[in-house]
Amino acid sequence: MSLNLATGNFSSGAHPTTHEVRRLTREMARQLADGAALDLRFVDGLYYRKDVATGDDELLPAFELLATCSRASLKYYPNWSGRSGDPVGRLIKFGVDQRATGDLGPLDEGVGENLIEYERTEGAVRGVLGSGGELPTGWGASTDGTTIEVTDAGSERGWRHVELEIVASGAASPIIYFAGAAEIAAATGNERTLSVTARAVGSVIANFSGIQLRQDERTASAFVSPNTKAVEAVTTELARYGHPVTLSGGGTVAYVRPAAQLTFSGAGTQRIRLSMPQLETGLVATSPMIKEFGETGTATRSADVISRLTISRASRKSNAGEWDFKSGGVYGHHIEFAPGVAALTGKGLLVDPATTNWIRNPLAVGAAAGSPGTLPTHWLTQLSGGVSVDVVGSGKSAGARYVDLRVHGAVTSGVATIYLESSSSVPALQNQIWTMATGLQVVGGTAANINYVNLGQVERSDAGVALAVNNGASFMPDHQHRRWVQTATMTNGSTAYVQPRIDIRTGTGDVDITVRIFLPQLEKKSYATSPAMPLDGVIGTTTRAADKITLTGDVWLTGGRGTLFAEGVVPQAVASSADPDRAGTLAFLRPNTSRGIVVGLDRLEDEAEFSLRAEDYTTNSATRPLGDLSVGDRIALALAWDGDTWSASATGATQVVDSVLSGDEFPDQDLQLGWGWPGGGSPNDANLSSYLRRVSFWDYRLSNAALEDLAA
């Protein structure tokens, strides 16, 4: 039997054993990683990490699962969905700081306490109750005319159980209590959830209806309310049952007594196993909390503290429609991500710098269809040559908000200008660089007598007078949603505002075309970033925080030597050194006290940057021109070091070969993805502003030839 690395399927039709699955999964992990201690493949959705201390391999199917766990207590994994009546698997015990995981993936939980003191079913004695047989310590029973015999006590698939044989002479509802009547303190309004594992032994007789969990509310001396759940069927398959309750018996309630009621509709004999009852605070059943043998009191669980790829971003962001950031590039399905959630896309992990969209109404709020209809709030038109503009409608397509404008008329060299802001709302100054981007799509009519479309930025004075018009290249939209970009440097010394616009220029004759406008953005940058949009219905400038993505250098990282490899997509080129974000870091191994190890891009010079800084702050760096690479192309950089030498390779660049390394060894460090400290100058975020496809770390130095292979 073997595992196909392309499909993830087993070659044999037979169902593999657990041992085979583990062996083949580890084999797949190692092959995918090419021997790397850390391999993050953001496009493939497979993430591998090696624990250098233990040698354990992890092949993780989801981005958020790349994590280590800190927990002060033991923990049990029930392989249970959490739904009452669903089957359980083997109960797996995990030690302190071990992440609990099984067939259903990792299980991360908060603190908890099992209020039932005798959950381990110890102390049971075989025999009929009342004639020598005894239930587990602390348990009790109401036989309701039945005979209950303890026939066994033991463990099944990790679940400690007591086995009972119940003989009913007619309809009956015997009750097994898991605590004393005045043992577990409670009050009206308390939220409690009872859970217990059970299965029938042998067959299920016709007259055995099933199990009813109950939480009896009691005063100091009297019964108040049973809080009985509806009957649930019990089968021969091991399953766990849950019963959440908000206690409501009134001000006299002082205790709650958890129990399982076993319901018979007529005469018969039924064997049943009951395992590991749990009563906990809250309305959700969590994993079983179990004491070690010989311990007393109630069992508790510490919280799981998970260290994973940390995404620190205080704002929402989009996936940029998997756009390649080229002007005229196709824009796909628009997806918004909540704060702190990584923007994983089909092109890779999208890393963005901070930005502000100065267009207050990019979602076209306020548009109303008509002739001419009502334009979105803050939008304006300027028409000449006989052109008319009507609002056809607005809505959402593939996740992106839009407005449809019909441009029509019998025209003579007409111009339809759509201003996306007022003349005095976006403050600007001479020498500032601004970039406008918007989605456009033809959704009706024809392009007959349409000469071209362009984007423009009008520089205006304090009084709103036009001082200069900065028009971008001419283009023609088509029937696909494409995103177009225009960058301009403010040239006039009196410039106080900038006003973004779209020009649709016609020839002479009849014109009738409907253009859809998506998600316009104006930002004070020399390149376009992913759209920063307000919430639906909201009008106002929108600021997106920078992506800060960090992986703690724990189990996979060794100091003193290694190979760091990063693959991404070439980000937008910088038009002028006036832009403060000069570099884009792909991967940055950063200790607490120094700049560390960087593989990045200098967008201003179109160069690959390699930088190593040792513990004594000695810097070893090199840059290499990237040849003919352009925005949207694949870029790969690899840097290897050991002892006093290092080498580096980049796509389309000459290799740095065996450069002498000054300074001491590098300390263990954290890994920053897509942001860091660029080469030269003062520190800044240096966000990639593009897609990161893969990041890998080997805990040894790869050969120079291997570096070239990675880069190529």
Condensed to tens digits (0 to 9), the pLDDT of residues 101-138 reads 777 767 878 899 999 999 999 999 999 999 999 999 99
Q: Where are the CATH 2.60.120.200 domain residues in the chain?
A: 548-711
Given this model, what pLDDT does residue 269 score? 98
pLDDT digits (tens, 9 = 90+) for 394-409: 999 988 999 999 999 9
Per-residue pLDDT reduced to its tens digit, 212-250:
999 999 998 899 999 999 999 999 999 999 999 999 988
| Whole-number percent of the chain with pLDDT over 70 | 84
Mean pLDDT of all residues in the chain? 85
Convert 487-523 to b/e letters by CB count within 10 Å (16 or more is b): bbebeeeebbbbbbbbbbbbeeeebebbbbbbbbbbb
Rounded to an integer, what distance in angstroms lies between the CA atom of residue 519 and that of residue 533? 8
CB 353 within 8 A of CB 529: yes
* Amino acid code (one letter) for 152: D
- The Cα–Cα gap between 329 and 484 comes to 7
Strands 239-246 and 597-602: unpaired
Higher-pLDDT residue of 222 and 678 is 222
Pick the CATH number of 548-711 from 3.30.420.40, 3.90.1010.10, 2.60.120.200, 3.10.250.10: 2.60.120.200
**Delimiting residues of CATH 2.60.120.260 domain(s) in the chain:** 113-305, 357-540
Mean pLDDT of 299-322: 82
How much is the average pLDDT of 157-175?
Answer: 97
Q: Which two tokens stand for residue 261?
A: 């009621």
Lowest mean pLDDT segment, chosen from 161-175, 361-375, 569-583: 569-583
Give the pLDDT confidence score for residue 478 in this predicted structure: 97
| pLDDT tens-digit map of 581-627 | 555 788 887 765 556 788 877 766 677 778 776 655 567 778 888 87
d(CA 589, CA 557): 10
User: Residue 387: pLDDT band by 50, 70, 90 thresholds?
Assistant: very high
401-421: average pLDDT: 97
- As a whole number, mean pLDDT of residues 498-522 equals 98
Give the model's confidence band at 191: pLDDT under 50 very low, under 70 low, under 90 confident, else very high. Answer: very high
Q: What is the CA radius of gyration of the chain?
A: 34
Q: Which residues, other chains included, contact 216 with Cβ-Cβ below 8 Å and sequence gap of 6+?
A: 223, 224, 225, 226, 227, 256, 257, 258, 259
Tell me, what's the pLDDT at 143?
97
What does the DSSP assignment read for 117-181?
S--S-TT-BSEEBTTTBBPSTT-EEE-TT-EEEEEEEEEETTEEEEEEEEEESSSB--EEESS-T
Sign of CA dihedral 68, 73, 74, 80: negative
**What's the rounded Cα separation, in Å, for the pair 524 and 540?**
16
Per-residue pLDDT at 573? 59
Confidence band (pLDDT; 50, 70, 90) for 5? Answer: very low
**pLDDT at position 88 over 80:** yes
**CB-CB neighbours of 455 under 10 Å:** 28
pLDDT at residue 437, rounded to an integer: 98
Superfamily of domain 357-540: Galactose-binding domain-like (2.60.120.260)
Backbone angles phi, psi at 142, to 5 degrees: -120, 110
Mean pLDDT in residue range 291-318:
83
What is the rounded distance in angstroms from the CA atom of residue 637 to the CA atom of residue 648?
A: 7
- Cα–Cα distance between 647 and 656 in angstroms, integer? 5
More confident residue, 10 or 369: 369
Which contiguous run of DSSP H or E holds residue 292?
none
- Domain 113-305 is in which class? mainly beta
pLDDT given for residue 485 in this prediction: 97
How far is Cα 270 from Cα 640, in angstroms, rounded to an integer? 69
- What is the reported pLDDT for 595? 63
Does 663 have pLDDT greater than 80? no
Count how many Cα atoms sit within 13 Å of the Cα of residue 5 in the half-sphere of its side chain: 10
